[in-house]
Amino acid sequence: MSGVVDEELIHSKIAIVGMSCRVPDCDTPSAFWQNIVRGVESIRTFRDEELQQAGVPAELLNDPHYVKRGAVLKDTAYFDAGFFRYTAKDAEITDPQHRVFLECAWEALEDAGCVQDLERRVVGVYASSCLSSYVLRLYEDQALVQRLGHVQIGIGNEKDFLASKVSFKLGLRGPSVNVQTACSSSLVAVHLASQSLLNGECDIALTGGVTIRSEQTAGYVYQKEGMVSPDGHCRVFAADSAGTVFGNGIGIVVLKRLADAISDRDNIQAVICGTAVNNDGEEKIGYTAPSPIGQAQVIHEALTVANVSPREISYIETHGTGTELGDAIEIKALKEVFQTEAAAPQFCAIGSVKPNIGHLDTAAGIIGLIKTALALKHQVIPPCIRHEQPNPKLAFEQSPFYVNTRPRAWKDVSDSPKAGVSSFGIGGTNAHVVLEEAPTYASDASARQHHLFLVSAKTEKALANTCRKMAKFFRIQPALSLADVSFTLQTGRAHFPYRKMAVCSSLGEAARLLEAAETATTSSSGQEELRAAFWFSPQTQALGRMGRELYQTEPRFARIVDGYIHSLSKEMPDMPSLERLLPGAERAQGDDALDPLPVELSQFFCQSALADLLVSLGIKPQVAMADWYYPLMVDSEKRPHGMMRSTLLTGG
């Protein structure tokens, strides 16, 4: 294992084992990372026609201070209601924030490969959402309000019901907590979820935040000395920084105790070393203003909890809104913590995701965490876009910091990558998380040449869509281990009625077979346990070659055969060699025509060992049938003379 964690500290650390996100221009973490590393700005300019269709009045469109830009999250009107047991009417009166969060919660659990663990593990939910603007539309329909009542509408839209709704729909029994601290909500949720895991309140934690405004196709009115940008571009720590741009998006991570994740051999994305949360109190100029004292204290506390010195941090994902006051105070707080150990200037890169996708309000912190976890996973310090000249007032030259403006290989900066993520909320609740790279495992992948890929869905259309997405994923991730993918698809995913399978020797072949229309698709009536029968046929040459391949590629089969040979060798001094019992393609069993003993033993070994192997894999027969020849008698040299055909039928 490289990047090994200290055994004494392992029990205080948290593993990120799964994630999902939907942000402007991206609906998966991998697509999000590609846009980040390429420096894509997903804040777009709206055409007047779009704004008019969205209901923006003409006088506002003609206002010179009206900025026609925004960060849009696509397809928020769609929802897989049937998958989560929603009626069409229930789905219609549910805020898109709740609907999308539920979909992403399932995606994150699938990404973590733990959906089959949900019944036997205690799973907690820590969730944040923005103020519902969708409910305002519902209240415009007074007939609907009178028919359903305030309680039913509230359950579908209010913040209070987000986390518990996920717990109810997915059958999760751990703590179910809504976290609301404005812009820092989702990173505070990560802190609380981590504490819950360390305190033993849950085994798995699902945590994240969502912000989706109903009126996404809409600009905003710029006000001098306000928070928003005059031109719809967000620039952080730059000479021309002038404000932020608000956007829409969602992010969720799945957390486990690091010791458990290592024991379960999970796909760890990054490791949380320490977290901290505090509040500014009254030591600032106003309620909405940030405080350098509060921010410095929370960063220092998180580093102390993580047992990490500032000098070990090589990247910080800042809150970085692009406002003059906010950026200046954040840099002042960082200097307060880092300057004491600044052996050399500019050793720590800083950046912010907000110039890419806008300020996501309650989801801002979790998206910053996902971005940083992906950076550690790919070992690349990501670029901060829209930054040409540093703000001279921030005096970066003699500070520990520099704004990273191009993708940089992390190994060129640090041998032990560690990073910090900050999120600060209006009202003064601050959060900071310290991350490090994930440990890697020595491979124990199977030596099999072919592997079984299983895919399933609740409808035939969903199955076809899943196969297309999986095929696309395989083509862009050709280095994945076939054995690991096969294992995850079988043990880490739920098995639904509509199913497809592929036996393949490469990811390219898997992609082709999953997309092929002729590949078998099945649907079941819900009966999971199907009756099985074992038939032992009188095969010879082909059976021996099959046994030889299984012996070479399937360790469990080899152990069973070796056990047979060891047991029989005590009674048979002239026991045939393994090469005669399991001949390869270069040697046919017909060579033993004058000595049938190896043939008979090979037939028995192969079929009996294969049956034992299938039973060990969970395939248990109700019926076993044998149709073979066995020796009628043996001479003094234990050679068979005469054969008798037998058919055996047993029920179990």
* Catalytic residue ranges: 183, 319, 359
Residue 399 CA from chain centroid, whole number: 36
Separation of alpha carbons 170 and 528, rounded Å: 20
Helices (H) and strands (E) in the chain, counts: 21, 23
Q: Which residues pair with 315 in a beta bridge?
A: 349, 419
- Contact assessment for residue 157 and residue 132, using Cβ atoms and an 8 Å cutoff: yes
> What single letter denotes the amino acid at residue 25?
D
**418 close to 312: Cβ distance less than 8 angstroms:** yes
Instruction: Please state, in angstroms and rounded to a whole number, the distance separating the CA atoms of residues 448 and 487.
Output: 12
Rounded Cα distance, 573 and 571, in Å: 6
Helix (H) or strand (E) holding 478: none
Task: List C-alpha distances in Å: 365 to 372, 465, 513.
Answer: 11, 31, 40
Phi, psi of 440 (to 5 degrees): -115, 150
DSSP class of 458? S
CA geometry: angle 441, 444, 445, nearest 5 deg = 115
Three-class SS string for 330-358? HHHHHHHHHHHHCCCCCCEEEECCHHHHC
Question: Which runs of E-coded beta strand occur in 263-400?
Answer: 270-279, 315-317, 348-351, 380-381
For residue 392, give both structure tokens.
Answer: 């001279």
Query: 393 in helix, strand or coil?
Result: helix
Longest Cα–Cα distance in the chain:
109
264 DSSP 8-state letter: T
**Where do we find the tokens 């095969």?**
539
